[in-house]
Amino acid sequence: DAGVTQSPTHLIKTRGQQVTLRCSPKSGHDTVSWYQQALGQGPQFIFQYYEEEERQRGNFPDRFSGHQFPNYSSELNVNALLLGDSALYLCASSQPTYNEQFFGPGTRLTVL
């Protein structure tokens, strides 16, 4: 049973560039959430997708956008990258009726 997968593992970008991160949920899960984890901090909720719609959003600017595909996989896009966007980006999947979320290994983004 495959768990949550994310790609790429690492990414280096420069300020002003755009980035797309990808996530495939755990088998049987149809809800995908994205989190940003800065060094030394707990993860912060970015948004959640269910049935290809953004269901909830955290306190992140519009530069952060996402998408969910019919096969439940998801993308996180960040435009106009800032140095402060450097972080570990985590994807978590769940079933809509359960609050337990299972995390992928993350994508480590470095913005120079």
Partner 1 sequence: RKEVEQDPGPFNVPEGATVAFNCTYSNSASQSFFWYRQDCRKEPKLLMSVYSSGNEDGRFTAQLNRASQYISLLIRDSKLSDSATYLCVVGQGGKLIFGQGTELSVKP
Identify the residue among 31, 68, 74, 93 touching partner 1 (CB under 8 A).
31
Closest CB to partner 1 among residues 16, 96: 96
Q: Please tell me whether residue 93 binds partner 1 under the rule CB under 8 A.
A: no
φ, ψ for residue 32, nearest 5 deg: -125, 130
Q: Are 47 and 58 in contact (CB under 8 A)?
A: yes
Q: Which of 86, 80, 51 is nearest to 65 (CA)?
A: 80
Query: What is the nearest approach in angstroms of partner 1 to the Cβ of residue 77?
Result: 19
Which residue in the set 24, 33, 68, 93 belongs to the binding site for partner 1 (CB under 8 A)? Answer: 33
Instruction: For residue 11, give the 3-state DSSP assignment.
Output: strand
Provide the 3-class DSSP secondary structure of residue 66: strand
Nearer to partner 1, 4 or 81 (CB): 4
Identify residues 35-74 at the interface with partner 1 (CB under 8 A): 35, 40-45, 48, 55-56, 58
